[in-house]
Every structure is written in C-alpha cells, then in structure tokens.
Amino acid sequence: MKLYPKNSVALADVKRFVAIFYIVGTLGFLISTTRSLFVLITPIALLVGSYLLLLYHPHYTSKTILSFIIIALLGFFVEVLGVKTGLVFGNYAYGRALGLKLLDTPLLIGLNWLFLSYSCYSIVWKLKINGWIRLFTAPLLMLTYDIFLEQVAPKTEMWYWENASPSIRNYVAWYIVGFVFTALLLVCKVDTGNKLAKLLFFSQLLFFAILTFFI
C-alpha cells in the first residue's frame, strides 16, 4: 500500500518540508502573539512527525508491529502510573498542549514514547560502536532530549511539576524506561534503516533547545 508522501514525493522534498515545518513551529512558539495557537496545534505536530517516522520505516514484520504497539501502550500506562501516584517521575500534571486525555494522561503520550525510542534506536544503531554500548547510548540520547524538554514543557503547557522543576528521579526513570524500550526494539530485531529518523529527532531536539534559551 502506497501512502503519501512516500513513493510520491522525492525524499529531498520531504526532508525540506520537515525542516520548514519545525522552523515555522519554532517561530510560532517564540512569538508571544501566536504561542497560544501553536499550543493548540501541538497534537497535530506530534501526529505529523510520528506519521512520517513510521511511514519511512523500511520493513515491517509482525515482531516490529508488536514491539511498536507494546511501546506505545506501555509508554501510556507508565505515564498514567506517574500522574496518578508520582512514584515514577515525580509529582506532575498534564496541561492542554498534548490534546485529549484518558485517566488525566494525553492519549498521544504513548505515541511520543514510541517516536523517541524508535528514532534514537535508529540513530544509535548506525554508529560504529560496540552493540552493548549502543544499547546504553540510545536511552542516553533520549535523556538528553528530555533535559531540554523539561525546561520548555511548562512554558508550552505540556505538563507542570509540583515543585516547578523535575527531581533527579524523573531523569533516572526516563533512562530506565528508554533502556527497556530500546532493548525491546533490539530483541524484536527492528530494522534501523529509517531515512527520516535522524532529521525528525534532531529537528525536535533543536526545537526544544531553542525554546529553552529564548522563551
């Protein structure tokens, strides 16, 4: 089955779209008069990024699909546990930016865990380093992303921490969850040849890094 834009639009044009997409998003959040609008359309941005990432996955198998479903579901329920008990990441509550919620948790948050786990896995597994080192490096890349994300999240109405900022527990939990998801992708032998993974991940990372320093 051919889904747009794969096989319909040149990869270079798709990459150009991704770059423009995140540039516009960055400007939208930096300009105070448009920030509220871009907060409302954040779920659309997450869906577009995830759609493109999954669309350009090179080879789907039953194990690949199963691993994606498990990560999305576990990611969601880990967040539910975190919101309801404070035992996982600390005490926090979600704002309106991530869209519809179930059990006080955005439905899209599981998809976001899949996006991060898969993109970091795809990036790190192309590095010419020992396999065991890659297994520990992928969640480290996810943790780097979270360090910037946590600075921006309250300002963009994603979530709010009880004590204004996350504790060390949050970062430890992020690494552990990321490690588990990375290991699952490895066990299921998920193909790492995604042509958009690096661009999508680093576009998001740069987006949050810029907002960290300028909002």
pLDDT bracket for residue 138 (50, 70, 90) = very high
**Position 5 in a domain:** no
**Position 22 in a domain:** yes
The residue among 132 and 105 whose pLDDT is bigger is 105
Q: What are the tens digits of pLDDT across the range 67-114?
A: 999 999 999 999 999 999 999 999 999 999 999 999 999 999 999 999
**Position 4 in a domain:** no
- Chain mean pLDDT for the chain: 96
Average pLDDT over residues 158-162: 96
Complete DSSP assignment for 116-152: HHHHHHHHHTTSSS-HHHHHHHHHHHHHHHHHHHHHH
pLDDT bracket for residue 1 (50, 70, 90) = low
Number of domains comprising the chain: 1
**Position 2 in a domain:** no
Q: Using an 8 Å Cβ cutoff, are 75 and 46 in contact?
A: no
State how far the Cα of 155 lies from the Cα of 211, in Å rounded to an integer: 9
Q: Residue 152 has what pLDDT?
A: 95
**Position 174 in a domain:** yes
Residue span of the structural domain in which 52 resides = 11-206
Q: Residue 7 has what pLDDT?
A: 86
Q: Residue 128 has what pLDDT?
A: 84
**Position 45 in a domain:** yes
**Position 103 in a domain:** yes
Of 47-56, 123-132, 176-185, give the lowest mean pLDDT range.
123-132
* pTM (two decimals): 0.95
**Position 178 in a domain:** yes
